[in-house]
Chain A
Amino acid sequence: MRRRIPTLLSAALLLTTAGCAISEGGSNSLVFASYGQGAYQAGQRAAWLDPYEQQTGTTVTIDGPSSNAKLKAMVEAGKVTWDVVDTDASAAAAVCGSLLEPVDMGAQAAGFPEGSLTDCGVPDAFFGMMLMYDSKVYGKNPPAKLADFFDPKQFPGRRIIYGGDPSVGTIEAALLADGVPRDKLYPLDMRRALRMYDRIRPQLSITSTYGDQQQRMAGGQADMALIVSARAFSLLKAGATNWKVVPGIPVPVTWDVLVVPKGTARAEEAKKLIRFASQPAQAADFAARAGVGPANTAAPAARSEIGRQLDIWGEGKEDLRVLSNVRYWAANRPELVKAWSDWTTG
């Protein structure tokens, strides 16, 4: 019997450490889940979290990377350690009410681009799906329209896209290239979009992360790309100036949202932070730092040279930007993502 005591002790020790692994901050602190080191998260820290800490005395800790799967696991397990999460709009709209708290923006709701605010997701960053090419490769005859990306005869060369999540404008870009009018995009004709990608399959590299796509473009592993503007911004900022944005073509637009997971003890405080970040000055400051479109229509347009190339809100852009229908995506996400991942892995 005496011999059993060490065993019990070690087992008990194990169980307690397992239970304590998840620490929870005090009431005067918040945990903000973002996407890890880079201009994006650094911009959020400088434009929102630091001023918010100064103004309210609440400590905001950054955790990450943000993950919808982790968020789901936390909410289901009843151990929610994230208070505000930055995630993509359509995924958030799909789990509104089940995994996420509704966020009431009151009078501030009028400041967001039309149709972008949903019950649980407060837009914080807008991205354009940009067509870019390597000017060293194409010289005097660069691609000039979306259809050129899908035309390997006229425009030979290796293409690269991000393939992890098709809801970032990947499908819309193919349909627009095939001549679908912008107001007839939804419901999406997935098969038609995939037929477009079939045309360039031999030339196409698909990456499972944005970082990998950016890395391969910078390293000369591709000649043409469909890439979200935030990554294009990092690419150009890092000095890959041989990459040019094709101007004056339709740009599918998607956005990220701030959400509050169901079950956090600090939901009200979390919503306060979201309302703070959504003010015009904060939105503009973050947008300029991260190279994304501001989430507030009252925010002034981008001023930097790179920012202007990637701008989706400036004058003359209203006929080019094509905002994603997040409600459609939210309702049909499983089928669409499945069809896309079958095509990419098949």
Chain B
Amino acid sequence: MTAVATRPPALPQAGPGRERRRTSWLLLPAAAVVLVFFFYPLAVILWRSFTEPSFGVGNYLAVLGDEVQLRVMLRTLRTALIITAATLVIAYPYAYAMTLVGRRARSVLTLLVLMPFWTSLMARNFAWYVLEQRGGVIEKALAAIGIDGVVLLGSVAGVTVAMVQVMLPFMVLPLQSSMLSIDRSLLHAAGSLGARRPVAFLRVYVPLSMPGVLAGVSVVFIMSLGFYITPALLGTPQQALVAQVIGTQVNDLLDFAGAGALGTILLVVTLVVLAVLSRVAAPLGTSAAGGADRG
């Protein structure tokens, strides 16, 4: 999904129709994987959510009529939104800096942002666990500057901090690749037309980087909606997100159909978010929804 951040230069294509026919078989292995390992299970989940224990929309009505489930859904949306906003605020200047520095410094910055990819998710979560716990580094550091008693472990804040770190690469990479394609001489042009530097940046650079912003925002937001391990480990059931509630329904209640209904609702919410974002992205000449531009 990160590859869509920049718009590929429109190459002149000879006979696109025939080209497409000739190469479409390349997609078949991928299609087979998706069909067998994604669509089939998804279809089973959907089917069960509408047929167990009896045919109808009972499971969906149960979720929508359940105050706690709705509260958890809203909490999940709010948490995902906060994570996305925080990730964007941190990633934007970082990605911008990456486009300004020399090649070697850029490799180092890329390395730093990719680090989370190379460490096991569990190792990272346990590292955060140690940092965030009572008497941990974070509490001690904050106490040293006069802020006492901040224990992030077991709070939404603690989960958010850890998830922002996990999500950073998904925001930085599309931003950076989008920014690299921006012609910086446009900023000079704006300057020569009388725009002061902050104005030129806000009116010229930021709009041009919007495809990257939208790609990053949609990936991070959607991944945050379904996150399971980090909230389960660093949070507590008191602030459970949808994925954990689904986990309880499957593991403790063996209610596969009810869990399926909740999962389907989460999927629909995700698709709606995607649709809205692609709507927003369309005038920018890119599709944030992960669909590549079609030649």
Asked if A107 lies at the interface with its beta carbon under 8 angstroms from chain B, I say: no
- A18 on the B face (CB < 8 A): yes
Query: A220 near B135 (CB under 8 angstroms)?
Result: yes
Known: A344-B237, A345-B238. A208 touches B244 (CB 8 A): yes
Contact B254 A95 (CB under 8 A): yes
Contact partner, A14, options B32, B68, B233, B236, Cβ 8 Å: B32
A164-B252, A205-B154, A219-B133 given as contacts; is B36 within 8 A of A18 (CB)?
yes
Per-residue CB contact flags for chain A residues 109-124 toward chain B (1 = under 8 Å, else 0) read: 0000000000000000
Write out the residue numbers on chain B whose beta carbons fall within 8 Å of the beta carbon of A164: 237, 248, 251-252
Q: Name the B residues within 8 Å of A346 (CB-CB).
A: 67-68, 71
Closest CB of chain A to B125's CB: distance in Å?
A: 11
Q: Which of A78-86, A300-308, A334-342 contacts B (4 or more CB under 8 A)?
A: A334-342
**B245 contacts A345, CB within 8 Å?**
yes
Residue A165 at the B interface, CB < 8 A? yes
Q: Do A69 and B250 have beta carbons less than 8 Å apart?
A: yes
Contact residues in B for A333 (Cβ distance below 8 Å): 253
CA distance A342 to B62 in the complex (A): 13
Q: How far, in whole Å, are A3 and B154 apart by their CA atoms in the complex?
A: 56
**Cα-based distance from A164 to B237 in the complex (angstroms):** 8
Q: How far is the CA of A220 from the CA of B36 in the complex (A)?
A: 47
Interface pick from A4-12, A184-192, A241-249, A268-276: A4-12
Is A7 within 8 A of B237, CB to CB?
no
- Which residues of chain A are within 8 angstroms of B153 by Cβ–Cβ distance? 221
What string of 1s and 0s marks CB contacts (under 8 Å) between B223-252 and chain A? Answer: 000000000110011111000110010111
- Residues from chain A with a CB closer than 8 A to the CB of B135 are 219-220
Contact A10 B32 (CB under 8 A): yes
Main secondary structure of the interface of B (DSSP, over half): helix
- The answer, yes or no, to whether A289 is at the interface (CB within 8 Å) is no
**In the assembled complex, B146 has its CB within 8 A of some CB on chain A:** no
Taking the complex as formed, is B124 at the interface, i.e. its CB lies under 8 A from any CB of chain A? no
B254 touches A68 (CB 8 A): yes
Distance, CA A216 to CA B232, complexed state (A): 14
B247 to A, closest residue via Cβ? A208
Contact A72 B28 (CB under 8 A): no
Instruction: Say whether, besides A14-B36, A345-B72, A337 and B253 are in contact (CB < 8 Å).
Output: yes
Kindly state the separation between the CA atoms of A6 and B238 in the bound complex, as whole angstroms: 52
Closest to A201 in B: B238
B29 to A, closest residue via Cβ? A10
CB distance from B53 to the nearest CB of A (A): 11
Contact B254 A345 (CB under 8 A): no
Chain B minimum-CB-distance residue to A341: B248
Q: Contacts of A15 on B, CB cut-off 8 Å? A: 32, 36
Any B CB within 8 A of the CB of A163: yes
Residue of A3, A206, A345 near B68 (CB, 8 A) is A345
In whole angstroms, how far apart are the Cα atoms of A337 and B245 in the complex? 12
Given A206-B236, A337-B252, decide whether A220 and B134 contact each other with a Cβ distance below 8 A: yes
Q: Does A297 contact B (CB under 8 A)?
A: no
CA distance A240 to B36 in the complex (A): 49
Contacts of A344 in B (CB 8 A): 237-238, 240
Given A205-B236, A206-B237, A208-B237, answer yes or no on A7-B251 (Cβ-Cβ < 8 Å): no
Give chain A nearest CB distance to B157 CB in angstroms. Answer: 15
Please report the C-alpha to C-alpha distance between residue A341 and residue B249 in the assembled complex, in whole angstroms.
9
Any B CB within 8 A of the CB of A207 = yes
On whether the beta carbons of B233 and A334 are closer than 8 Å, the reply is no
Residue of A7, A206, A212, A338 near B238 (CB, 8 A) is: A206
Q: How far is the CB of A69 from chain B (nearest CB, A)?
A: 5
In the bound assembly, the distance between CA atoms of A205 and B254 in angstroms comes to 25
Please tell me which one of the listed residues A4, A69, A207, A216 contacts residue B25 in the complex, with CB atoms under 8 A apart.
A4
Bound complex: CA A72 to CA B29 (Å): 31
The answer to whether A212 touches B233 (Cβ under 8 A) is yes
CA distance A212 to B36 in the complex (A): 36
Cα–Cα, bound, A78→B250 (Å): 19
Decide yes or no: A11 and B68 within 8 Å by CB, A68-B251, A205-B236 being known contacts.
no
- Closest residue of chain B to A158 (Cβ to Cβ) is B134
In the complex, the chain B residue whose C-beta lies closest to that of A163 is B237
Establish whether residues B254 and A14, one from each chain, have CB atoms under 8 Å apart when the complex forms. Answer: no
Query: How long is the Cα–Cα vector from A346 to B67 in the complex, in angstroms?
Result: 9
A67 CB within 8 Å of chain B: yes
- Contact A72/B25 with A205-B154, A344-B240 known, Cβ cut-off 8 Å: no
Enumerate the 7 nearest inter-chain pairs by beta-carbon distance, A residue then B residue, closest first.
A344-B237, A7-B28, A345-B240, A342-B68, A11-B32, A10-B29, A69-B250
Q: List 16 A-B contacts (CB under 8 A).
A: A3-B25, A10-B29, A11-B28, A69-B251, A69-B254, A69-B256, A91-B254, A206-B237, A206-B238, A208-B232, A208-B244, A334-B253, A337-B253, A341-B237, A341-B252, A345-B244
